[in-house]
Amino acid sequence: MRPDLDYIEHWITNGSHVLDLGCGDGSLLALLHQRKQVTGYGMEIDTQNILACVRQGVDVIHQDLNEGLDDIDDQSFDTVIMTQSLQQTHKPDRIVEEMLRIGKQAIVTFPNFGHWTVRSYLALHGRMPVSENLPYTWYDTPNIHFFTFRDFEVLCRERNIKILERTVVDRNHQANWKINLMPNLMGEIALYHITR
Amino acid sequence: MPTEIPADSVGLIQPQSAFFEEALPLRCGRSLSDYTLVYETYGTLNADASNAILICHALSGHHHAAGFNSVEDRKPGWWDACIGPGKAIDTNHYFVVSLNNLGGCHGSTGPMSQDPDTGRPYGPDFPIIAVRDWVKSQARLADRLGIDCWHAVVGGSLGGMQALRWSIDYPDRLKGCAVIASAPKLSAQNIAFNEVARQAIVSDPDFHQGRYFDHDTRPKRGLMLARMLGHITYLSDSSMREKFGRDLRTGKLNFNFDADFEVESYLRYQGENFSDQFDANTYLLMTKALDYFDPAGDHDGDLARCLSQAHCRFLVASFSTDWRFAPERSQELVRALTRARRQVSYLEIDAPQGHDAFLFPIPEYVALIEGFLGSLATAEGAA
C-alpha cells in the first residue's frame, strides 16, 4: 500500500462522504471504507483503473477532471481528495477551487518541484529534471503544471484557502529533521489538508 | 446451429412458460385478467437462490437470449455473446432468467394472444403496457421461481429501463442493477424517431387499425420501414461507413430508384427479415413503453429523489458512439444516483458500434460486467 494513504486516513472523519479525484485502482477508497466506514466515489479517466475499482467493489465514476466538476452540488462531500494528480490537470487552481466548492474540506498531495535535486538538476544540466520521483521527459510527461510547496501556499493565501494541516515527506513518505527544517528544499511530496 | 455446440454456449435450451391466474393491474388503468410469460433459464439456481440474474430485453428482444432452441437454428440467442459458461454473465456461477415481456410476440401474452373477453386476438385492444407493469410481472415470475432477491437485474436500452424500475419498485429484491446503453427517460428526438416508426406502421394500408389478422394480412411494409429507421439509429455513422461506405451492389449506378448502394440493400434485408418475424401491434406497444418511461415523473421530475428509494448497487455503462442513448443520457442517471448518494459505478466504453455495442463482447465491457457481478458476490462494497 502507498504510505501516503496512511497520512490521509488520519485526516478523514469516520463515516464521512468522500470523493477521490483520480482515484487510480481504488486502493485509498477501499482502505477508507474498511477503516473509516466512508461512503462516496472515486473519479477516474483510465479504463483499466476503473475496472480495478469495480472488481474490488469501489464505486467509481468515469470522468475527465479537466472537463470540470460543475455537475456536482456545492458542499455535497465532507472531503474531496486528490493525490498526486493536481500537476496533471489543465487548470490546477480551478480544480482546487472546485474541490472546496463541492467539499467541506479537501486533501491535496503533489510532488515538489522545489526539491533540491530538481533545482540542482536544472541548474547543472540546463535541462528539465528527470529523476526516480519524476521519471518523465519534458515532451511526454503527464505532469503539465509543475509547482513547489511555496507556490501552492501562495495560491492558498491569494484565494483565501485555509491550510488546516501540512505534512511534507520524502519519496518513501518518511519525514525527517531536514525536511522539517527546510520543507520546500528537502521535501519531495506534500500532503495538504485545506478548507475555506 | 453450428455442427458442434461451442464450449462456451449454454447449449440446447427449451423455452418454458408460466401461467398466472392473478389479474395484473396496469399503469394505464386496465388490467390483464390472466397471462402467460415465456422464459428461458441458463445455469443452475443455488440452494439459497442467491445467484439468480434477470435479463431484461430491449424493444425487439425476447426470451431467447442465449444458446440454441433447436439444431436447425442458424444463430444463437440475442445476447449469446455475453451469456454462457466463462462469458461476462457466467452460467457456471449464475442462474440466468430471460423472459419475453408482456405485449411481446414470442409467446408471452400480447396482442397476438386471445382476448378472454371476446375470444378473438387482442390486436390493437391489448392494453398499453408500461415498464413498471413488466417489472411487476417479472417479480411474479421471480416468486414462481423461488427467487426472493436477484443477484442482479441486467438490461440494455429498454432493458436498462426495466432494471432501473426494479431498483425503484422492488428495492429489496435485487443486489445489483446494471443499466447499459440506456436513459432515465426519452428525449424529444428519441420520441420523434418512435413516432415516425409508428406512423410508418399505422399508415400502411394493410394495418387496418391494427386488425390486420381479420383481413388475413400484415402491415409488412410499415413494419419494415419502422425497422429500417430504427436500425439506422442503432448504428453509428462510423460503423456504417466502415461496413458499407458507398459500395455499390452492381458496381455501377443504375439511374433508377432501386437499391444502388450496399447500405440500401442491407437495410431492406434487415427490415424485411424483421417484418416477417415481428408483430406490428407489439412494435407499437414497445415504442409507447419507451416513450412513457420517466420514473422521475412521480417525483416532480426529481430523479435523485426518485432513486433515493433504491438500495442496490448500480452499474451504468454507455458507449462512445451511441447516439440513440448517448453517454450524456447515462451521465444524467449517474448524476442523479450520486446526488441521491446511491452506490454507483460508471464507465463509458470506447466502441465504434453505436447503440448496438451493448450486444457485443467488447473486452472492457465484458470485464466490467464480470467485475461488477463478482463484486456483488464478495463484498458490501466501499461506497
* B297-354 tens-digit pLDDT: 999 999 999 999 999 999 999 999 999 999 999 999 999 999 999 999 999 999 999 9
| Mean pLDDT score, B52-65 | 97
pLDDT digits (tens, 9 = 90+) for B82-100: 999 999 999 999 999 999 9
Asked if B52 and B123 touch (Cβ cutoff 8 Å), the reply is no
Using CA atoms in the order B280, B285, B286, B291, what is the torsion angle rounded to 10 degrees?
Answer: 130
**Res. A146: pLDDT tops 90:** no
Question: Do the Cβ atoms of A57 and B367 come within 8 Å?
Answer: no
**Res. B30: pLDDT tops 90:** yes
Query: Which residue numbers of B have CB closer than 8 Å to A's CBs?
Result: 313, 315, 331, 334-335, 338-339, 341, 343-350, 364, 367-368, 371-372, 374-376, 378-383
End-to-end CA distance of chain A: 30
B322 is catalytic: yes
Question: Do the Cβ atoms of A50 and B348 come within 8 Å?
Answer: no
| Mean pLDDT score, A171-183 | 80
**Res. A185: pLDDT tops 90:** no
Determine the Cα angle at B158 with ends B156 and B160, to 5°. Answer: 45
Percentage of residues of chain B with pLDDT beyond 70: 98
Give the Å distances, CA to CA, from B16 to B13, B38, B336. 9, 6, 38
Q: How close, in Å, is residue B301 to chain A by CA atoms? A: 17
User: Would you call A37 an interface residue with chain B, using a CB distance cutoff of 8 Å?
Assistant: no
Task: Say how far apart CA B161 and CA B156 lie, in whole Å.
Answer: 8
Task: Say how far apart CA B140 and CA B154 lie, in whole Å.
Answer: 17
| Mean pLDDT score, A10-26 | 96
Tell how far CA B308 is from the center of its chain: 25
Task: Say how far apart CA B97 and CA A145 lie, in whole Å.
Answer: 52
Q: Which residue has the higher pLDDT, B220 or A3?
A: B220
pLDDT of residue B232: 96
CA neighbor of B30 nearest in space, from B123, B125, B124, B158: B125
At B95, the amino acid letter reads F
pLDDT of residue A174: 79
Chain A residues inside the 8 Å CB shell of B346:
60-62
**What is the band of B381 on the pLDDT scale with cuts at 50, 70, 90?**
very low
pLDDT of residue B383: 41
pLDDT of residue B349: 98
The residue behind cell 535541462 is A127
**Res. B183: pLDDT tops 50:** yes
**Res. A1: pLDDT tops 60:** no
Report the mean per-residue pLDDT for chain B. 96
Asked if A51 and A30 touch (Cβ cutoff 8 Å), the reply is no
pLDDT of residue A151: 93
pLDDT of residue A68: 82
pLDDT of residue B4: 80
**Res. B2: pLDDT tops 80:** no
**Res. A3: pLDDT tops 70:** no
**Res. B109: pLDDT tops 50:** yes
**Res. B379: pLDDT tops 70:** no
Chain A residues inside the 8 Å CB shell of B331:
71
Range B138-141, long-range pairs (CB < 8 A, 24+ positions): B138/B54, B138/B56, B138/B99, B138/B162, B138/B166, B139/B169, B139/B170, B139/B173, B140/B20, B140/B22, B140/B24, B141/B18, B141/B37, B141/B39, B141/B97, B141/B99
Task: Say how far apart CA B362 and CA B7 lie, in whole Å.
Answer: 19
Task: Say how far apart CA A10 and CA A18 lie, in whole Å.
Answer: 14
Tell me: ipTM over 0.90: yes
User: Would you call A30 an interface residue with chain B, using a CB distance cutoff of 8 Å?
Assistant: yes
Q: How close, in Å, is residue B317 to chain A by CA atoms? A: 10
Chain B residues inside the 8 Å CB shell of A73:
339
CA neighbor of A192 nearest in space, from A117, A101, A116, A99: A99
Residue burial B343-377, b: 16+ Cβ < 10 Å; e: rest: bbbbbbbebbbbbbbbbeebeebbbbbbbbbbbbe
Q: Which of A34, A51, A59 is closest, CB to CB, to B344?
A: A59
**Res. B78: pLDDT tops 90:** yes
Task: Say how far apart CA A163 and CA A167 lie, in whole Å.
Answer: 11
Asked if B222 and B228 touch (Cβ cutoff 8 Å), the reply is no
pLDDT of residue A132: 80
**What is the band of B378 on the pLDDT scale with cuts at 50, 70, 90?**
low
B157 is catalytic: yes
Q: How close, in Å, is residue B230 to chain A by CA atoms? A: 29
**What is the band of A111 on the pLDDT scale with cuts at 50, 70, 90?**
confident
Asked if A82 and A109 touch (Cβ cutoff 8 Å), the reply is yes
**Res. B285: pLDDT tops 80:** yes
Interface of A with B in 75-94 (CB under 8 A): 76
The residue behind cell 477508507 is A32
